[in-house]
Structure 1
């Protein structure tokens, strides 16, 4: 599993040059590794289980929204004992799909651990979130599928939305937040969606995404 940024390993797809697939990452941390999972479209990471085990396994599965979850979350739990965590809104949908949710949190800005926060970002789904990880190397914002690189310096959002106005507001919130690295998981990304940002670049990315959204 390639380290695409310090403490962040690409679990799926296996090559960073593969496109058209959702992205899943292993976040290495002393308090227990995190799996930021997007298992949409029938993703199977069981061939990577031994490699994940060799790196310390998984203590928690972070799910941004219901679209990123699948039966694979249950397989990860069975192998590593790592529960799924998500917002209370998305937990209802996941449990209805038969996905074992270990814990859920109120739909508000919340601290999950000393180094991990969740922020409500509705629009794609009613209870979607982004996760901010304060590692010893950088501050990583995991944005799921709500924004992604679309080639030629373009940035897009999904168009099959739960609520367009909510997504627009979520993008505005992210545009104003401070973080150093943005990590996405969208299968529509034209490259591995891991980007080092300064304030100007962050502003520009979300401005372009909102312009795209306005045209839909």
Structure 2
């Protein structure tokens, strides 16, 4: 299980867990108590950034000093509202969200199906929040980190969904059922409410299933969260 890292007094990037650094936060424009971050994954095959946010531009010098990044992985199209990242990095997104992202920034490549990147980072399509939402599962060697964007986020300590399109409800349920069976140690969404940490350490597989089951039950009953 990864352990939290000591925090420097001042830094453009926060060392959250071994190998995982976070950019400065930005507040969600339409929900002021939600903080957004991008994350730098330090990897032998090349650093990767997950999620687009204003923090990339704020921390661009610190990112470049750590060797830059070989990819920016977009979870879903709403991240495009912040425009092109303030860093020269190729952008990748699922094909179903490509058009919206490409209207705001250049897209270097798309994903279609579940696939591996360099043997340690898995692309897992999880449609539901948007048609092209994709989660990312990273095995750092010290822990397994699941990046779910807004598909599965943390609101006041509770895992929640964000159902926007009723026509995608069944896809959402199918994706939640898939995530329920994944093996991971840390849940890292795009945004969390500002009353808690930016991630959730997971104790057991049973905890994952219990927390995701609660989300499934609410979504199946017609709820939006």
For 1:211 and 1:154, the matched residues in 2 are separated by 14
Q: Secondary structure at the match of 1:64?
A: coil
1:211 maps to which residue? 217
- Residue 102 of structure 2 is aligned to residue 91 of structure 1: no
Structure 1: 5+ residue stretches without partners = none
For 1:160 and 1:138, the matched residues in 2 are separated by 32
**Structure 1 pair 72/56, CA: closer, same or farther in 2 (3 Å)?**
farther
Contact 2:124–2:135, Cα closer than 8 Å, also in 1:
yes
**Structure 1 pair 146/71, CA: closer, same or farther in 2 (3 Å)?**
closer
1:8 maps to which residue? 20
Contact 1:148–1:184, Cα closer than 8 Å, also in 2:
yes
2:161 maps to which residue? 157
Q: Of 53, 68, 84, which aligns to 1:73?
A: 84
Q: Secondary structure at the match of 1:12?
A: coil
Q: Secondary structure at the match of 2:141?
A: coil
**Structure 1 pair 58/70, CA: closer, same or farther in 2 (3 Å)?**
farther
For 1:44 and 1:180, the matched residues in 2 are separated by 25
What is the CA RMSD across the aligned residues, in angstroms?
2.2
Q: Secondary structure at the match of 1:209?
A: helix
2:8 maps to which residue? none
> Given the two structures, how large is their TM-score scaled by the length of structure 2?
0.81
**With CA pairs under 8 Å and 6+ residues apart, which has the higher RCO, 1 or 2?**
1
> CA shift at 1:23, angstroms?
2.0
> Given the two structures, how large is their TM-score scaled by the length of structure 1?
0.84
How many residues were matched structurally? 203
Q: Secondary structure at the match of 1:117?
A: strand
Q: Secondary structure at the match of 1:173?
A: helix
Structure 2: 5+ residue stretches without partners = 1-12, 27-31
For 2:73 and 2:52, the matched residues in 1 are separated by 9
